[in-house]
Structure 1
Amino acid sequence: MAQKNLLPMILLGLINIEKKTGYDLKKDFETEIGEFWSVKHSQIYLELKRLEGNGEIKSTTGFYGNKIEKTYYEITKKGKERLESWLDSYSDILNVNKDEFVLKLYFIKSRKDPRLQDLLQEQYRLRSKKLEHLKERMKFVFPNKESKNDNFGHYLILDHAIRREQEYVNWLEEILEK
């Protein structure tokens, strides 16, 4: 089954928050969105052209601040309608998690496989590092209880990511102890 292209919805959602440049959108993917969705830089600009061609966003190019030419994208009424329609819809399909580590584990048949320990240790290192990063992001983005109310959906996503990574780290610790 073909995977649904959700990049237009992500871009519409980000631009709906505030006008953004392509660079701003790239930065959003490197920080917050990148915790749960990845995209190539070139895909952003291709999709922005499509959205503009469809009349769902409009662009304004000019010189801003320090005389650098920038193009800002802004959502249109048509774009807001599409975004709202998507937000109101539900899918009954669970996405497949593409995890190369899990795939490699699947093909290791023996506990005595010499690659197993290194594979587990490396995954533990990576997951522990990601967990710490997520905890730091939580402290930075939501420094107090009141701040989570300003963007509760974002808070829930970050909380979910922390819990997911904590469980992954716990599972790896348990396996490595055996």
Structure 2
Amino acid sequence: MPKKRVLPYIILGILKQNPGLSGKEITEQFTCEIGEFWKASHSQIYPELKKMLADKWIEKRSKEDNAKEIDYFLTLNGKSVLKEWIDQPLELPVNRDPFSLKMFFINDKDDPRVNELIDEEKRLLKEQLAHLKMREALLFDDEKRIQQNYGHYLILTRAISRIEGQIAWLKSIK
């Protein structure tokens, strides 16, 4: 099953928060906060902008002082698509952190989706943690087995630790 494209939703969220950015300025957003949890290059972003224009999710306008420079804006359709995406439930596996992306684009602290997303993320992480702990008990029940597959053991315990930390953080904010 092909991976669901997330980049257009990120671009929609960026444009919602910063209307009128150029393609270069959108690309620069991936070296700032969003780059902490999602990467994209100009070679990915520009083709996506073309698709989004064709889908009428965004519109472009030339700058008054330089007709070659183009700024992008959300259309009503694009705003609706972004809202629908944020409203979709999270799914396992939690790859590339869609929780962080969705939260990043919710501006109002009183938005009811904040608590909904936190609850969904906690549920998914608890399921994932239970699975990883079951694997740890099954695969590494004694020191000899740990030593035989030490790298695997380290990565598994890192994943457990990371998820426990995420759950603790989620509990601390709600």
Q: Normalising by the residue count of structure 1, what TM-score does the alignment of the two structures yield?
A: 0.51
The aligned counterpart of 2:72 is: 73
Mapped contact 1:63–1:69 kept (Cα < 8 A) = no
3-state SS of 2:94 partner = coil
Structure 1 residue 28 displacement after superposition: 0.3
For the aligned residue pairs, the C-alpha RMSD in angstroms reads 2.6
**Could you list the runs of 4 or more consecutive aligned residues of structure 1 that deviate by over 3 angstroms after TM superposition?**
150-153
1:54-82 per-position Cα deviation (integer Å, ceiling 9, x unaligned)? 11100001344xx5841000000000000
In 2, the alpha carbon distance for the partners of 1:68 and 1:151 equals 35
- 1:26 equivalent in structure 2: 27
Matching residue of 1:93: 92
Do residues 4 (structure 1) and 38 (structure 2) align?
no
Please state how far the C-alpha of 1:93 moved relative to its aligned partner: 1.4
Unaligned runs of 5+ residues in structure 1 are 98-149, 154-163, 169-178
Answer whether contact 1:12 1:75 (CA < 8 A) is retained.
yes
Q: 1:37 Cα shift?
A: 0.3
Stretches of structure 2 that go unaligned for 5 or more consecutive residues are: 97-106, 115-157, 163-174
Match of 1:44 in 2: 45
CA distance in 2, matches of 1:83, 1:90: 13
After TM superposition, the score normalised by the length of structure 2 is 0.52
Matched residues in 2 for 1:41 and 1:96: separation? 22
**How many aligned positions are there?**
102
1:68–1:52 distance in 2 versus 1, CA, 3 Å = closer
Supply the distance in 1 between the matched residues of 2:67 and 2:22 (Cα, whole angstroms).
Answer: 12
- CA 1:59 to 1:68, structure 2 compared with 1: closer, same or farther past 3 Å? closer
Percent identity (aligned): 31
